[in-house]
Amino acid sequence: MLMATKRLLAFGAAAAGVFVATAALAQDVPPDVLVKTVTLEVIDIIGKDKDIQSGNQRKVVELVEAKVLPHFNFTAMTRLAVATNWEKSTAEQKKQLTEEFKTLLVRTYSSALSTYRDQKFDFRPLRAKATDTDVTVQVRIAQSGREPVTLEYDMEKSPAGWKAYDVRVAGVSLVANYRTAFANEVRTNGIDGLIRGLAEKNKGPTVKAEKK
């Protein structure tokens, strides 16, 4: 009985903690705390949701859109991935590129998230000065018989709080990885071709064959 009460109290305190964190959000939450809070919240929801566990991809996408997406700066991500061709794009093209790239990333992220199975997260202490406005937050995921996988979020401080502009999985930067493919596509089909290519990719379930 006592145990149960204690646990309930602890749970209440934890819940209150999360609430405070969410309420205070935006400006004041340090980037590492933000990553930790959001990660734990998301995996907690996945852990409880039977639909998601039985493979409801749509629900994962909704979850990512609601909880994760607000903490990303997709314009910066797209700008870095499109590289030299960004300045050659019109405002409208930039908007479309960002929109399509966002959709693709959310899908990919959701898909990766649904492979999650009770791995242990190790939130690394932030190595940065209090005055830094651009930092990397590290999270490591332990696995038996394999070296841990490192997730790194490159984050920048903005008036609306810290925003991620790149994610590195086991040392592989998403933004850097899209650079070549984007540049190739633009070279052969122009910027509109890249927008079309992204849109097509986002429409289909999975594109099987290579286009080239």
Partner 1 sequence: MIKVTFSSLRRQCGYLLAAAILALSAGCATTNGDSRDPFEGYNRAIHGFNQVVDEAVLKPVSKAYKEVLPELVQTGVRNFFANIADLFISVNNLLQGKVVEAASDGMRLVINTTIGGLGLMDWATEIGLEKHNEDFGQTFGRWGVGDGPYIVWPIFGSSTVRDSIGETLDIRFDPVRNHTPVDVRNAALLTRMVARRADLLDASRILEEAALDKYTFQRDSYLQRRRSLIFDGNPPREFPRASTTGPTSKAEDAVEVQAVGAGAGEAERATGPVTRAPLAPENGKTVPVASAQGE
189 binds partner 1 (CB under 8 A): no
- DSSP E strands in 83-160: the ranges are 120-123, 134-143, 146-158
Decide: 82 and 76 in contact? Cβ < 8 Å.
no
72 binds partner 1 (CB under 8 A): no
40 binds partner 1 (CB under 8 A): no
CA atoms of 72 and 165, how far apart (whole Å): 6
- Give min distance, CB of 66 to partner 1, in A: 21
111 binds partner 1 (CB under 8 A): yes
43 binds partner 1 (CB under 8 A): no
Provide the residue type at 121 as one letter.
F
131 binds partner 1 (CB under 8 A): no
172 binds partner 1 (CB under 8 A): yes
The residue (of 8 and 172) whose beta carbon lies closer to partner 1 is 172
Q: Is 152 helix (H, G, I), strand (E, B) or coil?
A: strand
95 binds partner 1 (CB under 8 A): no
- DSSP E strands in the chain: the ranges are 120-123, 134-143, 146-158, 161-169, 172-173
The residue (of 5 and 144) whose beta carbon lies closer to partner 1 is 144
CA atoms of 196 and 192, how far apart (whole Å): 6
Other CB atoms within 10 Å distance of the CB of residue 1? 5
Interface with partner 1 (CB under 8 A), residue total 62
Q: Tokens standing for 210?
A: 């290579």
The residue (of 45 and 150) whose beta carbon lies closer to partner 1 is 150
145 binds partner 1 (CB under 8 A): yes
CA atoms of 47 and 27, how far apart (whole Å): 29
Provide the Cα torsion 38, 63, 82, 128; round to 10°: 0
Residue of the chain from 98, 154, 162, 195 that contacts partner 1 (CB under 8 A): 154
Decide: 46 and 63 in contact? Cβ < 8 Å.
yes
Q: Which stretch binds partner 1 (CB under 8 A): 1-9, 16-24, 41-49, 103-111?
A: 103-111
Residues that bind partner 1 (CB under 8 A): 73, 75-76, 79-80, 83-87, 104, 107-108, 111-112, 115, 127, 133-134, 136, 138, 142, 144-148, 150, 154, 156-160, 165-166, 168, 170-173, 175-185, 187, 197-198, 201, 206-208, 210-212
